[in-house]
Amino acid sequence: MQEINVNQNDKRQVYLLTEAINQLQEMDKVVVGQKKDALEEVIKNLNAVKDEFKTPAPMRSLSTIKSRVERNAKTISSELHPRLMKDYLVTQ
């Protein structure tokens, strides 16, 4: 998430967002309970950010995109860190 930068080209931004979303979706498969809801919310938010790149560049607010990504990155690091998730993992 740290590599997402408003100065990079759109293809790179979309690629990085897609990779982050894919990794979070894989994580979503093994998470249950309250953390699953938080994780799904982050995935939904990042998909919305990715969809903003379909809008022509002059019509996008780069500062808004950056703040939304940073807000989701903060949620991931503070609430969805693997050490905090051990009680919310699917047991086999």
Domain boundaries, the chain: 10-88
- How does pLDDT run across 48-88, given as a tens digit for each residue? 999 999 999 889 888 899 899 999 999 999 999 888 888 88
The span from the CA of 77 to the CA of 21, in Å, is 15
Q: Which residues contact 85 (CB under 8 A, 6 or more apart)?
A: 31, 35
Sole residue written with tokens 């950056």: 66
CB-CB contact of 47 with 25 (8 Å): no
- How does pLDDT run across 6-18, given as a tens digit for each residue? 567 889 899 999 9
